[in-house]
Structure 1
Amino acid sequence: MTHVLIIGASKGIGLEATRQALQAGHHVRALARSATGITLSDANLEKVQGDALKAADVEAAVAGADVVIQTLGVAVGDLFKPVSLFSDATRVLVAAMAAKGVKRLISVTGFGAGDSRASIGFLQQLPFKLFLGRAYDDKGVQEGLIKDSGLDWTIARPGILTNGPRTGRYQVLTEPSQWRNGIISRADVADFLVRQIEDRTYVGQAPVLVN
């Protein structure tokens, strides 16, 4: 049984990854500010209320973990203000993992983060910059922190997220020449994340995920 810490586990991709990791037989420590509101119930689920920006909370949650899955998000209203959540939380997490000797990090950013921004189509460039630019600028910083961390990292860059079902039929695009936007369900993103708990194929890579 692998001990997995999932940060941002109360909703979206994080909640779905929690569900799927439990189904796969892992022990899951679910860290979120609203962890007590997680409706899942399982003997292998440990709900931990904490803040991804607080070093003490994160270091305590990392202790004893084999793998960390980081799924962070901001509210729509926050997209129009300066964004630093992704980089700030990653600095805290990388330091905590180093302190506790935990090496494996699986993190979600998105298509358009880091060097994948160059693959955004011409017609999508302006709306992307207007609506998502602040968040994705910070996700770019986040990716740099992860890549420089010395950890065994995998970064998942999903395209446009939907609430569709888990299909297991999605593309993992590893080469820049393949990168493109597309849709993918949160459940399928979670499927990829949970597979990386035991699969090291994509260590040191940042693939784009689309249907």
Structure 2
Amino acid sequence: MRILIIGASKGIGLETTRQALAAGYDVRALARSATSINQSDAKLEKVQGNALNQQDVEAALTGIDVVIVTLGVGLGDLFKPVHLFSEATRVLIAAMKDKSVNRLICITGFGAGDSQASIAPLQRIPFKIVFGRAYDDKSRQEKLIKQSGLDWTIARPGVLLNGARTGRYKVLREPAEWRNGVIARANVADFLVKQIEDRSFIGASPVLVN
């Protein structure tokens, strides 16, 4: 299968690109800085483009079977209005329907959507102050995905750390289990790549923690 990874040039996106290639998938990596991806593989196609640009996204979807969205914002963006997640998702959903691509895997985070209610009381105020703008937009993003009619899976990792992929992490599917925690970016990527062919989490938005 051919995989499109949006936001592939750093962080979880770059690690997902590496792991998808290692698993034998053909990968098209879309990012504004795609040319900076320090990875050479015959199965990797680097595409410089903007996730907010309809033409860029439609072109990137040609011949694609599965889309993985790993967009992120910098620390400096957390204190300004954030619209990237919802606006890029709105563009993507329209393009996926136009191109008849149905499988969407997207990373948001613990605290987005209905998982916000599971934030511990003492964490809610600092979380809102620091991450509120970004997570309000991630919540809008999740709503768009859930209303899209696509075969979607939303992954909500806890606090992200660097570190090796271990494969040892918890996938908390039920709301009663949801809690914050830490998880390595490489383990988040491990979950995302597994969802390319695992259909058991379609229509689910689990929390990922160690």
Q: TM-score range by the shorter chain?
A: over 0.9
In 1, distance between residues paired with 2:141 and 2:104?
13
Alignment of 1:1-211 (within 5 A): 2-211=1-210
In 1, distance between residues paired with 2:71 and 2:6?
7
The size of the alignment, in residue pairs, is 210
Q: Report the 3-state secondary structure (helix = DSSP H, G, I; strand = E; otherwise coil) of the residue aligned with 1:87.
A: helix
Structure 1 runs (4+) deviating above 3 angstroms are none
Question: Shift in Å at residue 70 of structure 1?
Answer: 0.3
Share of identical aligned residues, percent? Answer: 72
In 2, distance between residues paired with 1:68 and 1:8?
11
Q: Report the 3-state secondary structure (helix = DSSP H, G, I; strand = E; otherwise coil) of the residue aligned with 2:140.
A: helix
What CA deviation, in whole Å up to 9, does each residue of 1:158-200 have, x standing for no partner? 0000011100000000000000000000000000000000100
In 2, distance between residues paired with 1:205 and 1:68?
16
What is the CA RMSD across the aligned residues, in angstroms? 0.3
Which amino acid counterpart does residue 170 of structure 1 have in structure 2?
Y
In 2, distance between residues paired with 1:164 and 1:37?
22
Question: Shift in Å at residue 46 of structure 1?
Answer: 0.2
What CA deviation, in whole Å up to 9, does each residue of 1:95-149 have, x standing for no partner? 0100000000000000000000000000100100000000000000000000000
Q: Report the 3-state secondary structure (helix = DSSP H, G, I; strand = E; otherwise coil) of the residue aligned with 2:155.
A: strand
In 2, distance between residues paired with 1:81 and 1:30?
27
Which amino acid counterpart does residue 47 of structure 1 have in structure 2?
K
Q: Report the 3-state secondary structure (helix = DSSP H, G, I; strand = E; otherwise coil) of the residue aligned with 1:14.
A: helix
Q: Report the 3-state secondary structure (helix = DSSP H, G, I; strand = E; otherwise coil) of the residue aligned with 2:199.
A: coil
Which amino acid counterpart does residue 44 of structure 1 have in structure 2?
K
Tell me the TM-score normalized by structure 2: 1.00
Q: Which runs of 5+ in 1 are unaligned?
A: none
Question: Shift in Å at residue 153 of structure 1?
Answer: 0.1
In 1, distance between residues paired with 2:134 and 2:45?
30
In 2, distance between residues paired with 1:198 and 1:125?
36
Q: Which runs of 5+ in 2 are unaligned?
A: none
Q: Report the 3-state secondary structure (helix = DSSP H, G, I; strand = E; otherwise coil) of the residue aligned with 2:59.
A: helix
In 2, distance between residues paired with 1:86 and 1:141?
8
Question: Shift in Å at residue 63 of structure 1?
Answer: 1.3
Tell me the TM-score normalized by structure 1: 0.99
Q: Report the 3-state secondary structure (helix = DSSP H, G, I; strand = E; otherwise coil) of the residue aligned with 1:17.
A: helix
